[in-house]
Structure formats: C-alpha cells, structure tokens
Amino acid sequence: MTRGAARLADPDEAAQVPHWSPVERWLWLLASRSAHSDYPPDPDDADALLAGLVRLSADWRALINRDGAAFLGLRRDLGASDPYFGFAKVYMHTVYLDALLLGMTQRLSIDQLTDSAARSFQSRDLASHLMELEIRAAHFRAMYWLRDTGDHGHATQILAAYQGQYDLDARFHLVVNEISELARVVQARGNEQVSAALGVITVLGLPIGVTLGIVQIIGANGVVPVSVALGASFSATAVILHVHEVRPLPGPPAGAPPALTSAVTPALVAPSQPAWPPNHGGLPAPLARRWGSTLTGARAALGPAPTPVWVSLDSRRKMS
C-alpha cells in the first residue's frame, strides 16, 4: 500500500499499542487482517508480533506473519512519474511473491510428511511405508528445501521471515529424525528375525551335517544307522548349547558382623585345626574313590591347608 498524503495517519481500527508507530500499526493491520476489536495485542508482548518485519529500503517496508504479508510505502506516492514505486510493484508481484509461494510449498510439504509419519503404524507394510517417507523427505530436501532465493537479498529475507513464522526449520528436522527413528526400529526388528532364522538354521543344520559326515565316514547305509547318527548328533548339539549354572562364590564367615560384611577382605593365616575337606576338594565320587588315597597322602605331606579369615579394612581386627 502506498499513500498520497504527506503524512501517514493512524488507521481507524489499528491495534492500540502505545510504542508502535503508525507504520507498524498499518503493517500489522494489513498483514494480520485483524482489527483491535478482533484481536487486541498485549503491549508487553507486542514486539514479538513484529518479528517478521523486513526493511526493504527507506521507501517501503514489509511485514510477514502467519496470516499474510503486507508491503507499505513510507513516503508519498507520486503516481506514474514516481521513480521507484513502479519497480517496487513489479518486485512484489514477481520475486517477493515467489519467495512467499516457496515458503507455502515448504510448509505444505512438511505438514504432509508429518501426517504420514504419524500414521506409520497404521500402514500394512511399515518397512515399505518408511522407505517411501525417506524418499519423499530426500526429494523435498533436494527440490524445495531452500534457505535462500539466490542473489536477491530481500527475497531471502522474506522467505526466512515466513519460515520463522511457522518454525519450518525445526519442524523439518523433527520429522526427519522421527522417520529415521522409526526406520531404526524396523531395522532392529528385521535383524532380530534374521538372527532367529540363522539360529534355527544352525540348530537344525549342525546335527544334519554331523550325521551326513558320520554316515559317510563309516560307510553305513539304511534307515537305522542314519537315525542313530542323527540322534547322536542332536544330543551332542543339545549338550554343546546347554548353559551350565555358575556356582556362587563363598561368602564371608557366618560369625562375621553384618555391618562389616561389605568392608572385609580375606587374608590367609595358618589355622590351628585341619581344614582339608573330607570329600577331597569336591571331586566326583568315582574320582574320589580312585585318587582318594593318593590325594590324602599328598595333603599329609604338605601339611594343613590355610583357611580364609576375614580382616576388617577399617579396624584391622581379625575375626575368625
């Protein structure tokens, strides 16, 4: 908008913000299309409403907000003989309008990506849906996600003002991170399925391979030898895959005080009583019967075994 008078008067229904100039009141009224009766701005937060202000030159300014854009001349329009406002109108209808249209295209594309990402778990094929989203995001980044419009600085400022009003930069990075996180979850699920399939193949393939090797070595034919070899192979595989329970480590002596249980360390001292266990160190019964006499003689020659005694780290007192 340009004016024909020498002085710019306040609009009739402009926002009543004390520290706003008539130019700022006109820009806000035109860009927001909101009169003071429709939306009275808070004076303490009124400056945030002018965050999209673009100072084009000493002749005119622009204001970009979520509702629209306004261009206002700061001096009197001389009509057809004006040396600048004719070109300003051309700029507004071409370069500056293209910047606004590019920002609108970016906003619509980000909205569509966000909606599609939010409905990901409603799709029948989540992996294909996420692949399509990644392709769309890459295409949008390559074709439409521009932060500048070339050599024309004012058009870049208008585009940046529009992007800032809708926080497009943060929203785009947020939806890209969301798509990447969903793709990571699907990939982890796929890796688990592949690992499970490999485990099944290993469990089934190892006995079969061992069976074929045994049959080939012994040169046996018939169902019975193959069945016996297959059963033996499955049994050996089950033994290999069996996980034994770990025996717990011995704790402190029963007579140790509970408060000092966590602050003691074993020290070896010579006891006054024999401490060799009668079961020959926990050997299995057949080995104990076979080597019992030999071990008893060896232990008699070595003397009594040391017994752990718990010594406090704080008081250094020995507790038997």
pLDDT at residue number 317: 45
Cβ within 8 Å of residue 63, ≥6 positions away: 27, 28, 30, 31, 50, 52, 53, 54, 69, 70, 72
Q: Is 220 within the bounds of a domain? A: no
DSSP secondary structure string for all residues of the chain: --BSSSSPPPPTT----TT--HHHHHHHHHHH---TTT----GGGGGGGGTTEEE--SSEEEEE-SS-EEEEESSB--GGG-SSHHHHHHHHHTHHHHHHHHHHHHHHHHHHHHHHHHTGGGSS-HHHHHHHHHHHHHHHHHHT--S--SS-HHHHHHHHHHHHHHTHHHHHHHHHHHHHHHHHHHHHHHHHHHHHHHHHHHHHHHHHHHHHHHHHHHT--SHHHHHHHHHHHHHHHHHHHPPPPPPPPP-S-TTS-GGGGGGEEEEEE--SS----TTTTT--HHHHHHHHHHHHHHHHHH-PPPEEEEEETTT--EE-
Q: Which of 28-32, 117-121, 282-286 has the lowest mean pLDDT?
A: 282-286
Most confident range, picked from 151-155, 273-277, 291-295: 151-155
Mean pLDDT across the chain = 74
| Distances, alpha carbon 302 to alpha carbons 295, 297, 308, in Å | 10, 9, 18
Would you say residue 160 has pLDDT above 70? yes
Q: Identify the weakest region by mean pLDDT among 90-94, 126-130, 201-205.
A: 201-205
pLDDT at residue 105 greater than cutoff 60: yes
Of 74 and 175, the structure prediction assigns the larger pLDDT to 175
* Encoded tokens for 87: 């070109």
Backbone conformation region of residue 240, classed left if phi is above 0, alpha if psi is from -120 to 50, else beta: alpha
Per-residue confidence band for 259, with pLDDT thresholds at 50, 70 and 90: very low
CA distances from 83 to 54, 77, 148 (A): 21, 10, 28
Answer yes or no: is pLDDT of 103 > 90: yes
Question: Among 86-90, 140-144, 186-190, 282-286, which stretch is predicted with the lowest mean pLDDT?
Answer: 282-286
Predicted confidence (pLDDT) at residue 169 exceeds the cutoff of 80 = yes
Residue 28 lies in a domain: yes
pLDDT at 319: 45
Q: Give a yes or no: residue 270 inside a domain.
A: yes
Residue 225 lies in a domain: no
Of 76, 93, 110, the one marking the end of a domain is 93
- In a domain, residue 271? The reply is yes
State mean pLDDT over 123-150: 89
Q: Which residue range forms the structural domain that includes residue 271?
A: 258-319
Of 71, 93, 115, the position where a domain reaches its end is 93
Q: How many domains does the chain have?
A: 2
Asked if residue 98 is part of any domain, the answer here is: no
Q: Is residue 263 part of a domain?
A: yes
Tell me the Ramachandran region of residue 113: left when phi exceeds 0, alpha when psi lies from -120 to 50, beta otherwise.
Answer: alpha
Boundary of a domain, candidates 31, 61, 93: 93
On whether residue 44 sits in a domain, the answer given is yes
